[in-house]
Amino acid sequence: MGKYSLCGRRRYGNFDFVKVGNLFHPGQIEFTNRRDNLKKMKNALNHHLLMLLLGFLLAGAACPQAPGNQKKESNAAASTSLTMAQADDGKWVIMDSQKTVLYGVFLYDNGPDYPAEGLIRVVKNGKIGYADADTYAIVIEPQFDCAFPFENGQAKVSNECQTVKDGEHSVWESDAWQYIDKQGGLKKQD
């Protein structure tokens, strides 16, 4: 294949083009007079349509993730895709494709939790866990009373904590902090 990936993609307007070398880079068109305009525009359009067609053909043949090449399991996964939405009561929740609320999103700074290292905090039955920030699938089951965002591959968590008011904000305090990694492994705070 050389140094170019057939799965490399580039966006032009509303279309994604497959990049094979410099094949899909649009050429610069300079119009010198009105008579040349129509001919150059027609040639440019034909060139781009041909590249679009070729791009879709190459993407389908070379990229397993291209449309039409997915396995049937991915279609089943797409039908059970999860979304984040704000419920009527103002809370942020994760719902399945049937609009069934599965769990809440941890509220931070008057809105849904910010992604940290690809994860967001979620709440279920009063406990905090972590979900993938893109798919919203639970990565670490909600099991903690206090849980900070991930930083440097770990997050500070505790089940023996108190929420203490600090002015208009609240802080968590605990003598039993632990660190959890992205696989769910716990270790005591040093």
Burial class (CB in 10 A: 0-12, 13-18, 19+), 131: buried
CA nearest to 140, candidates 152, 159, 151, 127: 127
Judge if 38 and 85 occupy the same domain: no
Q: How many helices (H) and strands (E) does the chain have?
A: 2, 16
Q: Confidence band (pLDDT; 50, 70, 90) for 187?
A: confident
Q: What is the pLDDT of residue 47?
A: 64
Dihedral sign for Cα 96, 98, 100, 101, please.
Answer: positive
Are residues 38 and 104 both part of a single domain?
A: no
Q: Which two tokens stand for residue 138?
A: 């639970």
* Residue 33: domain span: 9-62
Statement to judge: residues 31 and 120 lie in one domain: no
pLDDT per residue as tens digits for the range 96-129? 999 899 999 999 888 899 999 999 999 999 999 9
Is 67 inside a domain boundary?
Answer: no
Are the CB atoms for 129 and 143 separated by under 8 Å?
Answer: yes
Task: Reply yes or no on whether the pLDDT at 74 is more than 80.
Answer: no
For the cut 90, the answer to whether the pLDDT of residue 2 exceeds it is no
Indicate whether 50 and 81 sit together in one domain. no
80 shares its domain with 50? no
**What's residue 59's pLDDT?**
57
Q: Are residues 43 and 119 in the same domain?
A: no
Residue 50 lies in a domain: yes
In a shared domain, residues 57 and 80: no
pLDDT band at 149 (very low <50, low <70, confident <90, very high): very high
Shared domain check, 87 and 170: yes
Mean pLDDT over 137-163 rounds to 95
The tally of domains found in the chain comes to 2
Does 142 share its domain with 173?
yes
Structural domain includes residue 100 = yes
Residues 88 and 161 occupy one common structural domain:
yes
pTM over 0.75: no
Tell me whether residue 4 is in a domain: no
